[in-house]
Amino acid sequence: MRIAQLDLKAFGHFTDRRITFDAGTDFHIAYGPNEAGKTTISRALKAALFGVPERTTDNHLHANPNLRVGVVLELGNSERLAAMRRKARKNSLIKYDPLTGDELGEAIPDEVLTTWMGGLTEGLYTSMFGLDHDELVAGGKALSEGKGELGQSLFEAGAGLSSVRTLRERLAKEADDLFRPRASSSAIHKVLEQYSEARKEAKAAQTKPAEWESLRKATEEARATYDAARSQQEVLQREARRLERLAAVLPDVASRSLALERLADLGDVTKLPPEASALRMGAETQLRQAEQSGREAADNMARLRAELEAIELPQTILDESGSIESLYFTLEAFRAARDAAASAKGRGEQADARIGSLLSAIGESHQDNLRSLIPSATLRARVQSQATKGATLQTELDALTRLTSTTKRELDDLNAELSELGLQDVPTSVVDAISVFEAQGNSESKAEELTRQAANLEATLAHDATMLADKPIEALVSMGIPLAAELQHFHAAREELETRRQILRDKIEGIENDIATVSGELEGLMQQSEVPTAEHLAEQRGLRESLWQKIRSKVFPAQNERQEEEVLPTAAEYEFSVQAADVTADSRFADAARVSQHSELLKRQAQMRNVIELERTRLERVGKETSELKSQWQALIDKYGLPSLGVAEMTDWLNKRELFMQRYKAYADVKQQASMADEQAVMMGNNLSLALSEAGLPALGENESLAQAIGRARAFVDHANKAAASQKVLARKKKNAEEKLADAVAQADKSKSLLEEWRVSWSDSMQAIRLNPDAGGEEATARLGQFEDFEDALDMQDASRAELATAIATVTRVEGETARLCEAIQYDRANRSADAVVETLYERLTEGKKLVQRRKSLEERIEEAGKASARADQIMRQANQELANLKSAAGCETLAELFDAENRSAEYLKLESEIDAIEERLVTASALPLQELLSQAAGQDLVLVKASLERAVGDLHACTPQVEERHGKLIEAEAALGKVDGDAVAADAEQRAADAVARLSNLIAEYASARLSSSIISEVIETYQQRYQGPLLARASELFATITGGRFAKVATDFDEDMTILVGVRANGKRETVGNLSSGTRDQLFLALRLAAIESHVANQEPMPVVVDDIVINFDDASASATFKVLAELSKKTQVLFFTHHEHLLERAASAIGSGSFMAHKL
């Protein structure tokens, strides 16, 4: 199945938006920026296929009743379904026209679309055939957390789930928390223990008022004995704690005394700040550095002053620096002026010669005001305008003359064509026949096409009927089917029986495990020593009684007692039987706990065996009910003549038959339409033959098709229409030609009059520019050109004279200033040119400025050296003052004495710190005030204290068992006294036992539910693994190698402890577990498994469209290209819709698979 078209008629922010998924390729990439509607289109697709959610966010533009989204689906056999979805709880599907988007009003049952979707729900379809970036990352993470366990990984990838491992772990933990056979801390074990204790306490509680007084006295004696032992124990504990405290603090007390002695040995010490030593060393360092800096500054200052005195400045040149620089920067202008003077003189001579030549050509002589000879601009413009106007008027007159002649010839030709053209009549019946054909189409070809379609559909139906029931089409159509309620009844009954069977099997398995646990506990009791049972005691007592009766009847016979001949037992035999019975009785009394436990275990074992027999009986009953249900089912399908299938398979078969019936209905419709089209073609042919005859044309021929006859009729009509149209066109052309001829004659007369007026004005203008009145336009243009050249020559003459004067002035000024400078600075130029002299002076000025700058730099450095010397002196004064302050604080005169004072102060401070730390430890360890602790420790010897501590600890250890023994006797006495009022105790115990039974029932139900759910999931995973492991891993290996660009060669299996896991095999053969793969590679492994699972599904079921949403945004370019390749390969098997916000991926896809391998849709 594929999606051919999606119509967002009114959904989200879309209105009448259509997306067509062309069948030319089944790989479609929809792209657009954020907010373009990618997510909305994805929701619209789900809404079209599965319904609009009750609570939707896509109604912000269109109200809920107006929401509409249409979809066109196609099957491989070309069957199509066009359905418009509206928001409603029922009857939400409506047929619509995919071309116009109009709703046709007929409802489509929801079951039809469900059948097209293969029975998939929205959740199943999304998980199996949808994949986005978040799901891809979650899948890779699930692979890692599951350690690549094979069955679970395959099932998660195949089902599109990433939480199976979490679900299985939660169910296992819930079950283990409730019950584990050997875990006494589990909930069920605890409740069982509470129940057993309550039952024992209820049995033991009895009222014994006669013992009350003796028990009371025994209790008081036990309490007095315990109190005395407890008092002695407390005395020993206090003494041991005191000695422990002394033993712990005596080393620190000794250390404190030693530190105090060393502190006293130091005598009077001036305590200096901790940083005194650092301050002294810093001051000494500063003093040495400052002395060195002062010496270096003095040496540097002397050297710089000597260098300064050696500099001699060219003062006369520096005084004229402004003039020299000004002349230097005008040298370029000076040289240009010198060259310009010569050039201007030459151009002036040329202008004089040109002026003389032009005067001769014009016919004038030299005079003072030569510019008066030049015509005014107005005159020149008028002459040019008149020349152009005259040429234009003559050209127009010639054109109008030619137009008049041409139009006359055109009129003659039109009159000839009109006389030759005749008129044709078209009968109305011919036009009507063509109109009917165009309106109704080619009924003949339509009938043939429908007949062909009907034959194809009939062949397909016959094949489907054979495959479904091995029957003809009509037999399958007329076949009856069970009611939906009957099918639902059998389906529910089968599921109920399967559930009951599984529950009973699990209960039997659980009870068998419990029996094994109880048997193990019994075996453990027996391995410790033989447990004296009540049966064994009764057997021994019976033996003893039988021996005694033999002896009594022989030695002390009763009156009238019959004597029988039998051997009397020996004294040893009788004595042994008595001793054996007594020993067994004593053992049961002495080992009452084990005997009770053994008895309870035997009782539980017997009860569980009874329960397991009961459950097996119930399991057999379920088996019989299943057989009866199968018989009833067989009777039902035999009644309707249906194939022998199970309930689930029959539902699938009925769905296929329903599809068959829909196709049969379509076949019948096509067949009926073919018959109607054939009748329509015959009627249309008869009418057309009559119309052709009326037009004088041959009627419809025997072998002539309807389309060919219509073609002849159309040709006849077209020829007649063209003749009528030609007549109208020729008449219109003749009228236009007559009007054009009259207009041309009028315009020619007007043009002649204007030309005469122009000739008069032209004669006046020619005289003004010294030409003959009949001169032509070329002569006038040439004369105007001469006057323009004459004016240009006068302009050149004036410009050259002005330029020459300016150049001479510049040269004269520079020469004079240069001469002045040479005289002022006493420089001998020796006939050198002015510009060479100025350049030399400028070079000397530049050198002088450098000397000035050097002198200034030396003066600044001398000043800096002086400042450095002053700073060194200041630092020396500060350092000496700091040392003087430190010596004053230490009360000494020299640096050596200061150094010694610093060492004594540091030692004193260190001892003080040690003493403070010791005293803090003493107070913390003893939890006593310091003076109290010191007084207790005074005169104590550590060796003697430790010896006393060992004795005290030994006495305490010896006393403790006695105290515990006496405390146990006190508890026993108080318990015995408390049992005197046993009725209340027994009632309370019975109530607690009943509560434990109720809690136990609930816990067992919860345990059974958790174990059953976990077992079902495990069985599903195991079945999936067994069925699909081989082909899935083979295909996933190929895809994984492609997506990773060959970094990994395949996916393989390995073993880790007790489970089979997935591993990636690199190109060099190295195996990597899922946990060792990078997150990106894990995502690519999950993608390979998902695509392999999808390919497996489409190979065995009806293909479903695969929807992919931005899964390559974190892939590198090579992996993204490889992913597009595998998606393009998948699109050859089923439709692939790829949504993305990243337009650049189109270029990546085009470079990887070619632009023709996919269709792009811009959102």
DSSP secondary structure string for all residues of 783-842: HHHHHHHHHHHHHHHHHHHHHHHHHHHHHHHHHHHHHHHHHHTT---TT--HHHHHHHHH
* Residue 645 exposed, middle or buried by CB count within 10 Å (0-12, 13-18, 19+): middle
**Residue found under tokens 């002086």:** 866
One-letter amino acid of 875:
I
The kind and range of the H/E element at 932 are: helix 930-937
**Looking at the structure, do residues 620 and 489 belong to the same domain, yes or no?**
yes
pLDDT the model gives residue 191: 66
Per-residue confidence (pLDDT) for residue 86, from 0 to 100: 93
Question: Who wins on pLDDT, 747 or 197?
Answer: 747
SS3 of residue 1139 by DSSP: strand
3-state secondary structure of 31: strand
580/892: higher pLDDT: 892
What confidence category does residue 733 fall into, taking pLDDT thresholds of 50, 70 and 90? confident
Question: Would the pLDDT of 6 be above 90?
Answer: yes
Tokens coding 451: 């007949």
226 occurs within a structural domain:
no
Residue 499 in this model has a pLDDT that exceeds 70? yes
Per-residue pLDDT band for 983 (boundaries 50, 70, 90) equals: very low
Q: What is the pLDDT of residue 1115?
A: 87
Domain match, 586 and 725 both: no
At which of 625, 640, 655 does a domain end? 640
For residues 494 and 621, state if they share a domain. Answer: yes
Least confidently predicted of 342-356, 413-427, 718-732, 809-823: 413-427
Q: Tell me: pLDDT of 103 over 80.
A: yes
Q: How far apart are CA 821 and CA 827, in angstroms?
A: 8
**Residue 556: φ, ψ to 5°:** -120, 70
Is residue 61 pLDDT above 80, yes or no? yes
- Reported as a single tens digit per residue, the pLDDT across 135-153 is 888 887 877 776 556 556 6
Which of these three, 640, 658, 690, is where a domain ends?
640
Task: State how beta strands 1159-1162 and 1136-1140 pair.
Answer: unpaired
| Model confidence pLDDT, tens digit, residues 295-314 | 888 888 888 888 888 888 88
Do 528 and 473 fall into the same domain? no
- What pLDDT was estimated at residue 528? 60
Cα of 121 vs its chain's centroid, Å = 25
- In terms of domains, do 869 and 789 share one? no
247 in a domain, yes or no? Answer: no
Q: Could you give the CA distance from residue 579 to residue 930 in angstroms, rounded to a whole number?
A: 73
Q: What pLDDT does 238 receive? A: 80
Q: Which of 150-164, 806-820, 964-978 has maximum average pLDDT?
A: 806-820
**Same domain? 344 vs 432:** no
**Axis crossing angle, helix 150-159 with helix 982-1043, rounded to the nearest 10:** 70
Name the phi and psi angles at 414, rounded to 5: -65, -40
525 in Cβ contact with 597 (< 8 Å): yes
Q: What pLDDT score was predicted for residue 982?
A: 46
- Statement: residue 68 has pLDDT above 90: yes
Task: Assess if residue 425 is contained within a domain.
Answer: yes
The strand pair at 14-20 and 1136-1140 is best described as unpaired
Mean pLDDT across the chain: 80
Same domain membership, residue 561 and residue 427: no
In this predicted structure, the answer to whether residue 977 has a pLDDT above a threshold of 90 is no
pTM: 0.35
pLDDT of residue 947: 81
**How far, in Å, CA of 852 to CA of 314, rounded?**
10
H or E element in which residue 1072 lies:
strand 1071-1073
In a domain, 444, yes or no: yes
Tokens of 84: 């418009």
* pLDDT number for residue 51: 92
Q: What is the pLDDT of residues 914-944, one digit of tens each?
A: 888 888 887 776 667 888 878 888 888 877 8
- The radius of gyration of the chain from alpha carbons, rounded to an integer in Å, stands at 62
Q: Are 82 and 96 in contact (CB under 8 A)?
A: yes
The verdict on residue 269 lying in a domain is no
Question: Looking at residue 336, what is its pLDDT?
Answer: 85
DSSP state of 562: P
Element holding 716 (H helix, E strand): helix 706-768
User: What's the structural domain count of the chain?
Assistant: 5
Does any domain span residue 541? yes
Query: Do residues 581 and 540 touch, judged by C-beta distance below 8 A?
Result: yes
**Residue 99: pLDDT above 80?**
yes
For the stretch 216-232, pLDDT in tens is 788 888 888 878 887 88
What share of the chain has pLDDT > 90, as a percent? 7
Identify whether residues 477 and 488 lie together within a single domain. Answer: no
- pLDDT, tens digit, for every residue of 1018-1060? 555 555 555 556 678 888 889 989 999 889 988 887 766 556 7
Sign, CA torsion 181/186/191/195: positive
- At residue 486, the 3 state secondary structure works out as helix
Find the mean pLDDT for residues 52-57. Answer: 89
User: Is 461 domain-assigned?
Assistant: yes
Distant-in-sequence, close-in-space partners of 791: CB < 8 Å, separation ≥ 6: 371, 374
Q: Cα–Cα distance between 449 and 442 in angstroms, integer?
A: 11
Residue 1108, strand partner residues: 131, 1138
Confidence of residue 188 (pLDDT cuts 50, 70, 90): low
Asked which of 37-41, 724-728, 1129-1133 is least confident by mean pLDDT, the reply is 724-728
Residue 286 structural domain: 276-320+834-890
What are 523-581's pLDDT values in tens digits?
777 666 666 666 776 777 787 777 777 776 766 566 666 666 667 777 677 677 777 76
- Residue 540 gets the label, from left (phi > 0), alpha (psi -120 to 50) or beta, of alpha
Q: Are 526 and 634 in a shared domain?
A: yes
Predicted pLDDT at 1125: 92
Tell me the C-alpha distance between 396 and 394, whole Å. 5
The pLDDT of residue 1006 is above 70: no
Helix (H, G, I), strand (E, B) or coil at 37: coil
pLDDT-derived band at 783, boundaries 50, 70, 90: confident
Co-location of 497 and 634 in the same domain: yes
Question: 337: which DSSP letter?
Answer: H
Of 459-463, 539-543, 684-688, 1063-1067, which range is least confident? Answer: 539-543
Task: Based on the fold, state whether residues 316 and 434 are members of the same structural domain.
Answer: no
**What DSSP line would sit under 49-63, residue for residue?**
HH---SS-S--SSS-
Residue 1148 lies in a domain: yes
pLDDT single digits (tens) 104-124: 888 898 888 888 888 888 887
Cβ-based neighbours of 814, under 8 Å, separated by 6 or more: 327, 330, 331, 334, 834, 835, 838
List the 2-11 sheet strands across, edge first.
Answer: 14-20, 2-11, 68-74, 80-86, 93-96, 103-107
**Residue 344: pLDDT band by 50, 70, 90 thresholds?**
confident
User: Can you tell me the mean pLDDT for 384-411?
Assistant: 82
Q: Find, among 10, 779, 980, 801, the residue nearest to 349 by Cα.
A: 801
The pLDDT score that the predictor gives to residue 890 is: 83
Residues 500 and 474 in one domain: no
Cα separation of 524 and 518, whole Å? 10
Domain end call among 616, 640, 664: 640
Of 94-98, 108-112, 728-732, where does mean pLDDT reach its minimum? 728-732
Top-ranked range on mean pLDDT: pick from 753-757, 786-790, 889-893, 949-953: 889-893
Q: Distance (Å, rounded) from C-alpha 958 to C-alpha 964? A: 11
Tokens of 89: 């709880």
| 585 and 505 Cβ atoms separated by less than 8 Å | no
Residue type, 592: A
The tokens for 1058 are 């007790």
Contact 941, 247 (CB under 8 A): no
Edge-first strand listing for the sheet containing 1048-1056: 1048-1056, 1059-1066, 1071-1073
